[in-house]
Amino acid sequence: MSIQNIIFHEVRKSEKDREAKIFDRKTENVIDAHAQELGEQLSALFRKTGLYTGQFTVTENDTDPKPHFVILLEKFYNSKTEKFNDFVDFSVAATKYFKKELEESHVGKGGYLLFNHYTHKGSHFLSVILLRKISGLSISDKLTLDEVERLDLDKLHMAARINLTSWLSEKSSKYISFRIGRSAKEVTDYFSNFIGCEEATQARLDTKNLVEVTKLYCSENAFDDVKSESIKEFVYERCIGWLDDEKPILLDNLSELLDSVYSPEETGKFLEIAQEDPYFLSNNLPVERSALRELTRYSGKTKKLSISFDSDLVGVSIFFDEATGYLKITEVPNTLKIQLSKGIQK
């Protein structure tokens, strides 16, 4: 990541007040080691957080007004030089629009609005992130406990990352990665309205569908259990690798890799299943790590015991009590039941 521009503005609004106040910077923040560390930390959160993806709202007619955020980008971002003509003016104008949406939401809270323009692997990105402070404890020079405030960098409250290069190239309809909090819908709608993003697709839902597609692919190819588990592990590791490298997860690439490694009778079957009813997955797939773990298995063995099961059974038919170390299985396979019954009868 190479930061090109970075700036903070504060928008203050309590839950009781309807009007918000802007405390804006007059110059850009310095691009130093602290800014670089912050950028890297927030970028990592984007990779590890369940995201929505989408694009700017597309107007039905050429005469219809574009989203205000798009108007600001077109005014201040020079597509030829790939630079902002005046990053401060752009961020102040965007903050004023954020303030307007915040006030109209009635219930939203303010915070520190971060605008970060950076390059990564040849593409230009703009991150707009709402940060808030949290209280913590520190030890003073006199060895007393003091309460301190710091930026909450453990999670993204509300954030949008726009791939400016993809947006301008018009080669993708999912150039915005978007995160909103888990608060009530009316609390968080103002942020999506502020960015002007439409057709958001939750990464968790798409990932769960990818898991189902992988299982159906194994079933329709009549792969045995060993090969099926190998394929699930392959899909999991390949997707995680692409996520770590910040590369797009493309279904056609994944389908071709499965064909080349496992050589099913009918090539392209994985892609066909993924893009047909009821999944309708797009080729450029947003993936959430935690939901992808349903492709993995838990296993362990001793000299006298071996056990293995799909991770999606945890909390459904398999329950683990961490305090006692007990493992409870509520759906015992019939073959095991028969063996156990015969053993007890003896």
244 and 136 in a common domain: no
pLDDT at position 234, please?
A: 94
pLDDT in tens, 141-199: 887 888 877 777 777 778 899 999 999 988 777 788 877 665 545 556 788 889 988 65
Choosing from 195, 228, 243, the residue where a domain stops is: 195
Return the structure tokens found at 327.
Answer: 């493992």
Helix (H) or strand (E) holding 97: helix 87-105
Choosing from 173, 195, 217, the residue where a domain stops is: 195
Instruction: Work out the average pLDDT over 8-32.
Output: 89
Choosing from 252, 270, 294, the residue where a domain stops is: 294
Query: How many CB atoms are located within 10 Å of the residue 295 CB?
Result: 24
Q: How far is CA 235 from the centre of its chain?
A: 18
Helix (H) or strand (E) holding 341: helix 334-345
308 and 283 in a common domain: no
98 and 12 in a common domain: yes
pLDDT in tens, 26-63: 999 999 999 999 998 888 777 666 667 778 887 777 77
223 and 151 in a common domain: no
54 and 42 in a common domain: yes
User: What is the span of the domain harbouring residue 302?
Assistant: 297-345
90 and 11 in a common domain: yes
pLDDT in tens, 199-210: 555 677 888 999
Please give the Cα distance from 187 to 76 (Å, whole number).
29
pLDDT at position 188, please?
A: 63
User: Is residue 345 very low, low, confident or very high in pLDDT (cuts 50, 70, 90)?
Assistant: low
Percent of the chain with pLDDT over 70: 92
109 and 19 in a common domain: yes
110 and 167 in a common domain: yes
pLDDT in tens, 74-87: 999 999 999 999 99
User: Range with the lowest mean pLDDT among 6-15, 43-52, 112-121?
Assistant: 43-52
User: For the chain, where are the E strands, in sequence order?
Assistant: 2-12, 21-24, 52-56, 77-78, 83-84, 111-120, 123-131, 133-139, 145-151, 158-163, 176-179, 197-202, 297-301, 306-310, 318-321, 326-329
pLDDT in tens, 117-143: 999 989 999 999 998 888 888 887 887
76 and 169 in a common domain: yes
240 and 338 in a common domain: no
10 and 156 in a common domain: yes
How many domains, the chain? 3
179 and 75 in a common domain: yes
pLDDT at position 184, please?
A: 45
pLDDT at position 22, please?
A: 93
pLDDT in tens, 261-294: 987 778 889 998 988 888 888 787 888 887 888 8
